[in-house]
Structure 1
Amino acid sequence: MTTTLDCVKPGSRARIINILHQGGWVYRMYQLGVFPGVEVEIVYNDGRGPIVLRVGDSEIVVGRGLARRIIVESSGGS
């Protein structure tokens, strides 16, 4: 089942399927290790404000607007 990153609940894992749009922010996400095929864990998502992701050993904060442009496939809880 695919959804956007902003809809994934904390403690869940998701695989990045696609990043919509183009621009410098997409390049920056790639630099941070967030690109199609990568599995991320949602550390914090309260339904408002930024989302905290765990990618490998790093935690990354993503604004909700950007998270709506990242298509993921949910892979369950941790």
Structure 2
Amino acid sequence: MKLSELAVGASAVVRDFPKTGTTFLRLREMGLLNGTRVTLIRTAPLGDPIEIKLRGYHLTLRKSEAEHVLVDPA
């Protein structure tokens, strides 16, 4: 399942995401790694961007970025 498909309030565990690209390098530096538990907090009124909670802080992602992150529902 893609992170962008997660329902508001639902939690999941990161399974995989692209290993290349500056955007995904930055996400890894911020703690979005395989095995990390994330919770979708909310989405903007038009669905983009989305806000997730991981490792005790909130992170906002574009929906186009979240579509590349694969998760397993928790």
TM-score relative to the length of structure 1 = 0.86
RMSD (Å), alpha carbons: 1.4
Match of 2:20 among 22, 32, 37: 22
Number of equivalenced pairs: 73
Runs of 4+ aligned structure 1 residues displaced above 2 Å come to none
Matched residue, 1:66:
65
Deviation at 1:66, TM superposition (A): 0.3
Unaligned runs of 5+ in 2: none
TM-score relative to the length of structure 2 = 0.90
Q: Is the 8 A contact 1:21 1:69 kept in 2?
A: no
Secondary structure of the residue aligned to 2:26 is helix
Distance 2:27 2:64 in 1: 14
Distance 1:62 1:42 in 2: 11
- The share of aligned pairs that are identical, in percent, is 16
Question: Which structure has greater strand proportion?
Answer: 1
